[in-house]
Chains A and B, each alone.
Chain A
Amino acid sequence: MSFCVLLLIVIIISMVYFVASKGVANFVSGEVKVSEFLFGTKWSPEADTPSYGAFPFISGSFLVTLLAALIASPLSICAALFMTEIVPGWGKKLLQPVIELLSGIPSVVYGFVGLSVIVPFLRDTLPGQGIGVAAGALVLSVMILPTITSVAADALASLPQNLKESSFALGATRWQTISRVILPTTFPAIMTGVVLGMARAFGEALAVQMVIGNAPFVPHSLFESASTLTSVITLGMGNTTMGSPQNNALWSMALVLMLMTFVFVLLVRMLERRNKI
């Protein structure tokens, strides 16, 4: 049994080691400067003087992630409140399976639905081609709904009953109780859910790749094509030669993704610690 645990540690150490060693190859060999990679806005690896600015992709990843969290969080928190505070009986019976089913739908299916429903809808109603940041953010927001909702619902359900009762005893309405007592108390726990959802959105590859358009520019509006780190890696990894500077630049992006995962895990841990007190 200790072998199984040891295996886990070996896996993670080798994972970090392999991705990091590939990811820094370009910086070590002097092919690309770290600052150029992180902040350069020009991505043209096949030009005569190639430039490997990954800023459009990094900013694209952050943009869709934040947008998705902004759309999904209010919806999820309301769903959690519905399940625990408004109609705890049938509300939970109705929403629990919905949340479980939503989280079970594979990401390529979300991508397919985004491509065949959301993109044409955006194309017909709003300016632009339909594919773009808005479509990506919408697809992602549905994908992260279950994560945020289930964490928020757990947090709300574990709240001591007497907190609520004393608020009601003071004559507060339900909304006053929710907004002044329940939400402030559970704020760190709900934020944990939001961060977990953002982590999922940041790392999601295929669904975003299908609807975002994959243009290597920083978008000027929400309805323009853009790229994320994951979408560029998905498309580029198979078409570049292993060990070439272009391929190594993709590995650097993977390293950025990995580092962001650590940041998200760290954030979750900090929030959980705050939640305990």
Chain B
Amino acid sequence: MTNMKSLWRDRRFWQIAGQLLAVFLAVAIVTILWGNLNRNLQQLGIQFGFDFLKQQASFDIGETLITYKPTDTYSRALWVGLVNSLRIAVTGIFLTTIVGISAGIARLSDNWLVRNIALVYVEIFRNTPLLLQLLFWYFAVFLGFPKVESKISLWGLVYLSQNGIQFPWFTLSPEFSALLLGLTFYTGAFIAEIVRGGIQSVPKGQWEAARSLGLKPGLVMRLVIFPQALRVIIPPLTSQYLNLTKNSSLAIAIGYPDIYFVASTTFNQTGRAVEVILLIMLTYLTLSLTISIVMNLFNRTVQIKER
């Protein structure tokens, strides 16, 4: 009896019980939903299953990094989409970091013009919808270029036309370019604010101390201020990387065949709404968790090590 009493009062018991209850509830809810789904599908005469992935896709994809032809399976098509998504996410994260950090530092520049150009950039790109910006890049910028016959030459190295950006050794399609620039500048504006906040969070004494050592302003930033600002910058920066990756699904609006796009087509041709949505969820969850984990590891290396 006394045993029971002490159990009721034990904090650990309640912690574990709470966890168990939460798991039970979650499983129960999902089971009910699942049963309901199955029942409804059955009544509609639709079988749940992923066999359709082995069927021939028979639609073509405009941009592929891995080999693909319409006779390949839906799963191959989805791989093509995933690779395209990764391509945009990786290059996007790389570019947006450069844009964001530059704009963030520029926001604190002593030069009036630089400071205000950065301010206008940040405010415009942060305060308009991304979809609108993507359509702007696509229709106003890239489709505004001349036809391929009368392409614009930049120093004879890079050519701009309605077919995209042509480098000597490869070409970027207008769909990819519009999406990449759209995501880069949109996310970059948010990162700029994060970087500015991070830098401003470093105590003034650090600036003064660094300068008193005789360091030039560039070195002060690089060696003293920025490393300390990173502690504040990285967690919200992770969110922005996640946003960029997830927002890349807006590719569907401007015709870039990313994973969401290919999955939509697959869903459309097969009518497998539930299965395809599950696949999309799993894919983005995996992508997001991967970015999270990498960034958390990175975060750990820049935090102050208490000795």
- Do the two chains bind? no
